[in-house]
Chain A
Amino acid sequence: MKGANVKGTRNGATVLCIGALLSLVVTTAAQEDDSLSIAAALAPRAEGLIVARCSVCHSADLIAQQRLPRARWETTIEKMKQWGAELSPDEADLLVRYLSARYHPGAPDQLPPLDAELRKAEPLTQETLAEGPVTGVAARGAGLFEHNCQACHGAEAMGGMGPKLVKNPILKHEDIFWETVLHGRGPMPAWDSVLSHQDIADIHAWLMTK
């Protein structure tokens, strides 16, 4: 967040100024304990991580009711990693910063909702809508499934807390399959901020081979 990667661009000076201003604003905001704004800034990625890594086991409302100092957020996230939450060190750090900014002990019981635009989680994937239809590659799907879906749908997609997907009729109704994966259904969270269209196509292709 320091605007350091912009030198060499034609508007570099301007951007640097904005960057500096931004840093100043961030610092001042922090000094004024306006951690809500910092939380809002981190929200797009953090909310995506919460859907992808936390809500596999529990809904996000459990997180939103906590009011904890940073040290306790750190130990909580460490505990969740030990229990199987798939978080890289960078992701864990981002979550700690976000959670301790938004849900700190001084935060009011009733927090203002995340702004509608910010609430839409920033995709963790490189996705552009202009890509057009994608063709799934089954070989890639196996690993993606294991990483993202297996916790609920079981090893080899034979079912678990979520339904068995092997030979599941939904595989033949691709529109419903995509709708469910992208936007969620019932207890299943939406995966549109986590899986790219290519990822979903790969998983679908792999499931079709089972």
Chain B
Amino acid sequence: MNMGEGRRSVSRRSWMKRLLAGLAAGLLVNRRPAAAKVEEEREGLRETGPLTVRVTRPFDAETPVREFTSFLTPNHRFFVRSHFGPPDEERISEANWRLRVDGLVERPAEFRLKDLHQMDAATITAVVQCSGNGRAFHRPKVPGVQWERGAVGNAQWTGVRLRDLLTRAGVKDQARHVQLQGADRPVVASVPLFIRSIPLEKALHPDTILAYEMNGRPLPLLHGAPLRVITPGWMADSCIKWLSGITVQAEEAKGYYMQTAYRVPAKPVEPTATTHVPSIPVEAMVVKSLVAAPEEGETVKVGPIMIQGVAWSGEAGVVKVEVSLDEGKSWEPARLVGEDHPYAWRQWQLAWKPAGAGTVTILCRATDARGDRQPATTPWNPSGFLWNGWDRVTVTVAGD
């Protein structure tokens, strides 16, 4: 619009001036030691709120890992991710919101929230983790929200079993997949809707629920009020928020977010590969652990330090967490502590007495009941999913 030649020549002089200024600025900034200032700014941001904001709109934010010293992640500190942001509140108000169940069912049905409240409730403590958690650590870098360590949390979810709704509706024989859609909508109609599906067997699993409560409170808007799918053990891309439609189908959902996005190569690929390779949807979580304390960059005393963190895996329990203080040459087992639930994370601890002053990097890795163990780094994939490389925290041990 209004991109006439006239304006272009008018602006040419200022254009050149700016180019020169830019070159000068480039030279200047290259010489200024900016590291100290950046560090100050980062400290400042930490004070402003509990979440580390990655994208302002739609709001995407991760939880600072220090929060993970508690078993349950508080609702207001739980990571937030969506493609379009919450729907209009009117759309999901108690008066207007309906959950529609249709497709390959005998009796298509609509439910209000109060209908769901009258059904048998189920409570599951489960880790919910963004598929892209840790994307920032993949090399070469890949496009997408550059999540680091905190796009994950552990909460207690209460709701109805998806199976109970499907049984009421009567699933037909040809049914193989259950398509899930939320009430959120893109700003521009030409953007594909966020529609996903899960295989029928996952939908019928007694632990797959539609949650209306999170940690004993009504589900918050940013976490999908009034209803969110919880597929325990699976990545959060199937944990559809603001759920408004369930369609039983013979096929996987069509569309960008099922057929193109949230997939990983069926076999590992080289970053340089350009040809299209067969891919599979992201489903189960991979075994993973985090150091929650001490914090990255923290200064600790020479006295005994309690290293603590969390570990989880998708469909098998965590059986071992190990810590290394020598870049992975030797590993020491940590003690698994606290509550033990099938889909929750497990807390762990290790007492450490630093040998002396200096910089130390703490690494941790977990192993699950199937024998899967965290690798040093995760195989590269084009969308940067499923990062589970050894967690790494560097601290300074103060003298005396």
Contacts and interface: CB of A to CB of B under 8 A. Distances in A.
Interface of A: 1, 3, 5, 18, 22, 25-26, 29, 34, 36-37, 39-41, 43-44, 55-59, 61-62, 65-69, 72, 76, 82-84, 88, 90, 105, 110, 112, 115, 117-118, 122, 124-126, 144, 147, 151-152, 160-161, 187, 196, 199
Contacts of A62: 54-55, 145
Contacts of A84: 188-191
19 contacts: A1-B15, A22-B16, A29-B26, A37-B25, A37-B26, A39-B22, A44-B15, A57-B188, A58-B58, A61-B56, A66-B146, A83-B190, A84-B188, A84-B190, A84-B191, A112-B29, A112-B32, A161-B185, A199-B2
Given A58-B57, A83-B190, A110-B38, A118 B143 contact: no
B189 to A, nearest CB: 8
A2 to B, nearest CB: 11
Interface in B2-38: 2-4, 6-7, 9-12, 14-16, 18-23, 25-27, 29-30, 32, 34, 38
Given A36-B30, A66-B141, 20 more contacts: A18-B16, A34-B26, A37-B27, A40-B21, A55-B57, A62-B54, A84-B188, A84-B191, A90-B3, A110-B34, A112-B29, A115-B21, A118-B25, A122-B18, A126-B7, A126-B10, A144-B1, A161-B185, A196-B2, A199-B2
A68 B141 contact: yes
A90 B5 CA distance: 13
B21 A66 contact: no
B187 interface: yes
B187 A118 contact: no
A36 B26 contact: yes
Contacts of A18: 16
B140 interface: yes
B192 interface: yes
Interface string B58-82: 1000000000000000000000000
Interface residues of B, number: 46
Nearest to B59: A59
A26 B19 CA distance: 9
Given A112-B34, A124-B1, A37 B54 contact: no
A29 B24 CA distance: 11
B143 A41 contact: no
Contact of B23 (A40, A55, A56, A82): A40
A84 B192 CA distance: 10
A126 B6 contact: yes
B392 to A, nearest CB: 16
A115 B22 contact: yes
A65 B146 contact: yes
A151 B188 contact: yes
Contact of A72 (B32, B143, B145): B143
B186 interface: yes
B54 A65 contact: yes
A90 B4 CA distance: 13
A120 to B, nearest CB: 10
A118 B146 contact: no
A43 B34 contact: no
Nearest to B25: A115
Residue picked from A105, A110, A152, most chain B C-beta under 10 Å: A110
A5 B22 contact: no
Contacts of A34: 26, 30
Contacts of A29: 23, 26
A152 B189 CA distance: 10
Contacts of A187: 57
Residue picked from A18, A26, A112, A122, most chain B C-beta under 10 Å: A112
Given A56-B187, A58-B57, A115-B22, A76 B2 contact: no
Contacts of B6: 126
Nearest to A43: B22
A22 B2 contact: no
A150 B321 CA distance: 53
A126 B143 CA distance: 35
Nearest to A126: B7
A163 B151 CA distance: 31
A198 to B, nearest CB: 9
B22 A151 contact: no
Contact of B19 (A41, A76, A147, A152): A41
Contacts of B189: 84
B20 A22 contact: yes
A87 to B, nearest CB: 11
B271 to A, nearest CB: 10
B266 to A, nearest CB: 21
Given A61-B55, A112-B29, A118-B25, A152 B187 contact: yes
Given A29-B23, A118-B21, A105 B187 contact: no
A22 B192 CA distance: 44
